[in-house]
Amino acid sequence: MRPGMLAVEDRLAGRLAEEFEAHIAQTPFPCVGAKSALAKDLLEIVIAFDMRSGWDDLRIHDRLIGWAETYRDDPEGLRSIAVIFSQPSRLDEKEFERLLWERLQSFAEKDNWLGQPYDPAVSPDPRDRHFSLSFGGQAYFVVGLHPAASRPARRFSHPVMVFNLHDQFEKLRAGGRYERMREAILERDRQLAGDINPMLARHGESSEARQYSGRMVGEDWQCPFRDPRMERE
């Protein structure tokens, strides 16, 4: 790749990162956890090329493993890692959901190929209420954002996958802070959208897989994801 093209890509990456940070920081944005991560410099941003392609999957998966290792060394504070895709610029909710699970399936295949263990604190079965993804031996919860999201809180100018560490929620619950944070998020979401998102279940009460894409799904929805490590059980 020519130096000029690299410079253009660097400028685009910088612009997307700044735009996303500004989006999180704006007052109406409801997720107080993301705001805390940004304020404490615990929000890492990865700029990827195209959500329809596996071009950046190895690099993203490597960052997820590194993020898990960093957390084990210093498990303090709410933190997130956001993957922003520069493409596609237009997609509907079903297409975003399909692409999100394609990328997650790819990451899981790589985790399995590297012999990474599944976090024993969670289930690899997306039908289980204790389900979470696992990369580098650490469980993750994912929040998707994209331009065509029906919920205002899930809209951003580009497709985004935000990875949050499951263990953080357990620590919040143990410290009696989870319900307060959840109530704050729900109220802020109500103020932004006019009603409360019915897809937001309490952590651990139903499979979180239904919440990842942000699309409203019915009881008959089936998660397209299957972690290869389920075959060993």
DSSP string, 208-232: GGGGSS-----TT-------GGGGG
* pLDDT exceeds cutoff 70 at 83: yes
Q: How far apart are CA 214 and CA 196, in angstroms?
A: 13
- Look at residue 223 in the predicted model and tell me its pLDDT: 96
How far is CA 169 from each of CA 42, 104, 174, 179, rounded to the nearest angstrom?
16, 21, 9, 10
Determine contact, residues 20/84, Cβ cutoff 8 Å. yes
Per domain, the residue ranges of the chain are: 3-232
User: Is residue 82 over pLDDT 50?
Assistant: yes
Q: What is the per-residue burial (b if ≥16 Cβ within 10 Å, else e) of 108-122?
A: bebbbeeebebbeeb
Give me the amino acid identity at 188.
Answer: R
Question: Which two tokens mark 88?
Answer: 């596609």
Of all helices (H) and strands (E), which one includes residue 191? helix 178-193
Mean pLDDT over residues 100-121, rounded? Answer: 97
- State the pLDDT at residue 184: 80
Residue 122 has pLDDT above 70, yes or no: yes
pLDDT at 114 over 90: yes
> In this structure, what token pair is assigned to residue 122?
């969670």
Check: CB of residue 189 under 8 Å from CB of residue 30.
yes
Q: Are 215 and 97 in contact (CB under 8 A)?
A: yes
User: Tens digits of per-residue pLDDT, 23-74?
Assistant: 999 878 888 888 888 999 999 999 999 999 999 999 999 999 999 999 888 8
Name residue 139's beta-bridge partners. 134
